[in-house]
Amino acid sequence: MLYYLFEYLETNYQLPGASLFGFITFRAAMSVILSLFIATVYGKKIILFLQRRQVGETVRDLGLDGQAEKAGTPTMGGIIIILATIIPVLLFAKLENIYVILLLITTIWMGIIGFIDDYIKKFKNDKEGLAGRYKVIGQVGLGVIVGATMFFHPDITVKREKVNPVTGTEIVSKNPQKEFYPEEKTLLTTIPFVKGNELNYENLVTWISEDYKSYAWLIFIPIVIFIVTAVSNGANLTDGIDGLAAGTSAIIAITLALFAWVSGNVIFSDYLNIMYIPNTGEMTIFIMSFVGALIGFLWYNTYPAQVFMGDTGSLTIGGIIAVIAIAIRKEWLIPILCGVFFIETLSVMIQVSWFKYTRKKFGDGRRIFLMSPLHHHFQKKGFHESKIVTRFWIVGIFLAIITIVTLKIR
């Protein structure tokens, strides 16, 4: 809203300084500052409200040190993250941008699913919360919305550099900037470790016949559904000890902000040889607001936590990360960038599968890890929460660097 106000003042009254709002970097900086302020200042008020409402965490006895002390800690703190993300976006972003709209829908959609789950747990005294099938239906619904929008919306396009049809090399005009084809609707995406770093989902059907190109959504949308479901559940599983999910997600989001800004800038995307995707630069405002909300939430969520995010926060965080990665055509980098989520999820899958297999084969279920997800395994081995979280953050930073480097490995 402030963007439109200052645009009007600049156009009609040449107000000094109003032109700053035309720069994505300035608005991104303002959004992260405001989101940090909201999360840290008003976050305390929300925590006190949750305490008055006795929205405390019910802790199961898992035999972990320091676990009993966490009982009664306010949960549903994901509300802080959601509000601190949305408010700066509404003030500083171009609200007609399709990517911003998609991310706002994602935040509200997943926030509602997580809120319902937490509400049932706390106010209906049902430890299971929202039935798993309803969570999956919600995640699938979001995946359908995102996939269909990416495929059908006319504003979601890509620009590709012109190449010489004989040599395959880029055509460079007398202008120092490279020449591009007009914007096109395509399912082109980035894939690491291959020549060109690109994959077109349309090729999965056009090898049969070019006539099937318009049916590529039948493959693309299920892939989007899988990604949204997998990442949101991965974030949910990672949210097990103080500061782990929020800190890891902040590292991931900063990396995605860099990708979004570069991908939406014709000069830098050209220089770094990254796919140029018009209009994605505006996502930087949303992502930096999200980063500020996560860091601000960490003010109260680091050990010993004064508030837990609950499913309200973890499902929302995972959904946002998944949609950003899909929008900037970097979804194939998720296993690397979101490696902490991935290994946490994998540890649960391995543990459950091995337990069921050994129980069927030997009549006695056996475990590979002392406890899953993986962070609980290290707790059982005697590591303090803070040490586990800090080391997972370090791993997250390492994976973020590797993710960036993969774009130059062909």
CA count, 13 A, side-chain hemisphere, 356: 6
- The 3-state DSSP class for residue 96 equals coil
Residues 6+ apart with CB under 8 A from 212: 205, 206
The pair of structure tokens assigned to 111 is: 């926030």
Rounded to an integer, what distance in angstroms lies between the CA atom of residue 105 and that of residue 269?
27
CA 46-28-266 angle, 5° bins: 150
Q: Which residues of 314-349 are buried (b: 16+ CB within 10 A; e: fewer)?
A: bbbbbbbbbbbbbbbbbbbbbbbbbbbbbbbbbbbe
- Interaxial angle between packed helices 385-406 and 339-362, expressed in degrees from 0 to 180 and rounded to the nearest 10: 110
Check if the beta carbon of residue 86 is closer than 8 Å to that of residue 79: no
Rounded to an integer, what distance in angstroms lies between the CA atom of residue 35 and that of residue 290?
8
The pLDDT value given to residue 254: 97
The pLDDT value given to residue 62: 62
The pair of structure tokens assigned to 261 is: 């800004």
Q: Which residues of 60-95 are buried (b: 16+ CB within 10 A; e: fewer)?
A: eeeebeeeeebeebbbbbbbbbbbbbbbbbbbbbbe
The pLDDT value given to residue 59: 62
Closest to 146 measured CA to CA, from 343, 324, 393, 8: 324
pLDDT in tens, the chain (410 residues): 788 887 878 888 888 878 888 899 999 999 999 999 999 999 999 999 988 887 766 665 566 666 666 777 888 999 999 999 999 999 999 999 999 999 999 999 999 999 999 999 888 877 788 888 999 999 999 999 999 999 999 999 998 776 544 444 444 444 445 566 678 889 999 988 877 788 899 998 988 888 888 899 999 999 999 999 999 999 999 998 999 999 999 999 999 999 999 999 888 888 888 889 999 999 999 999 999 999 999 999 999 899 999 999 999 999 999 999 999 999 999 999 999 999 999 999 999 999 999 999 888 889 999 999 999 999 999 999 999 999 999 999 999 999 999 877 76
DSSP symbols for 97-147: -HHHHHHHHHHHHHHHHHHHHHHHHHHS--TT-S-HHHHHHHHHHHHHHHH
Rounded to an integer, what distance in angstroms lies between the CA atom of residue 323 and that of residue 325?
5
The pLDDT value given to residue 155: 93
The pLDDT value given to residue 162: 64
